[in-house]
Structure 1
Amino acid sequence: MEIKKKQQDVVRFLEANKIEFEEVDITMSEEQRQWMYKNIPPEKKPAQGNPLPPQIFNGDRYCGDYDSFFESKESNTVFSFLGLKPRPASTAEP
């Protein structure tokens, strides 16, 4: 349940900011699960067991786990965390 909540939090943020993404369900694909495990840097893996979703990638580049995402959201650095250019401030007239 906790994992699903974290995944939904990430998805809601991406959708709200109109950031294109692909959600990958690693429970449905052993190949995707192995790819994820292989592409998480060793220093980011837990001492025991496998890393839990959500794990965030930009293409093949590992961005981080949910805790890193949450910290970047709190410090308003998500675009940098995701390896994206910050969006310019809106210039729309009221």
Structure 2
Amino acid sequence: MGVKLYYTTVTASREVKSQQSEIIRFLEGKNIPFELIDISVGGAVREEMREKAGKPSAAPPQIFNGDEYCGDHSMFSDAVEANAVEQFLKIA
């Protein structure tokens, strides 16, 4: 198991770039090990992310613990505000 962040290196959206950077900075700052999975390498990876999330239109960033869906950026931000990131990431 472990925290996985599905993200993209190919996007024109400043919002997506900002959201991804925010999550990465937080995880690194808290020394939480995580794996980056770039969906821009192929459609199969994007479809895998969407299937695991249970959302056909899911867009990065999406966060998982192993294959268990944790949430998207909005849900992550809510967990940060509530000081409940460990529970959100299912590592507590």
TM-score, length of structure 1 as denominator length? 0.79
Amino acid at match of 1:21: F
The answer to which structure has the higher strand fraction is: 2
Indicate which of 57, 71, 85 corresponds to 2:64.
57
Q: Which residue of 1 aligns with 2:30?
A: 17
Secondary structure, in 3 states, of the residue corresponding to 1:35? Answer: helix
Measure how far apart 1:15 and its partner are.
Answer: 0.3
Structure 2 CA distance, aligned partners of 1:66 and 1:27? Answer: 18
Residue ranges of structure 2 left out of the alignment (5+ in a row)? 1-13
State percent identity of aligned pairs.
42
Secondary structure, in 3 states, of the residue corresponding to 1:22? Answer: strand
- For residues 1-94 of structure 1, the aligned pairs below 5 Å read 1-41=14-54, 45=55, 50-85=57-92
Which has more radius of gyration?
A: 1
Residue ranges of structure 1 left out of the alignment (5+ in a row)? 86-94
Runs of 4+ deviating beyond 2 Å: none
Q: Which has the higher contact order (CA 8 A, sep 6+)?
A: 2
What RMSD over aligned residues (CA atoms) do the two structures have, in Å? Answer: 1.2
TM-score, length of structure 2 as denominator length? 0.80
Higher mean alpha-carbon deviation, 23-32 vs 63-72, is at 23-32
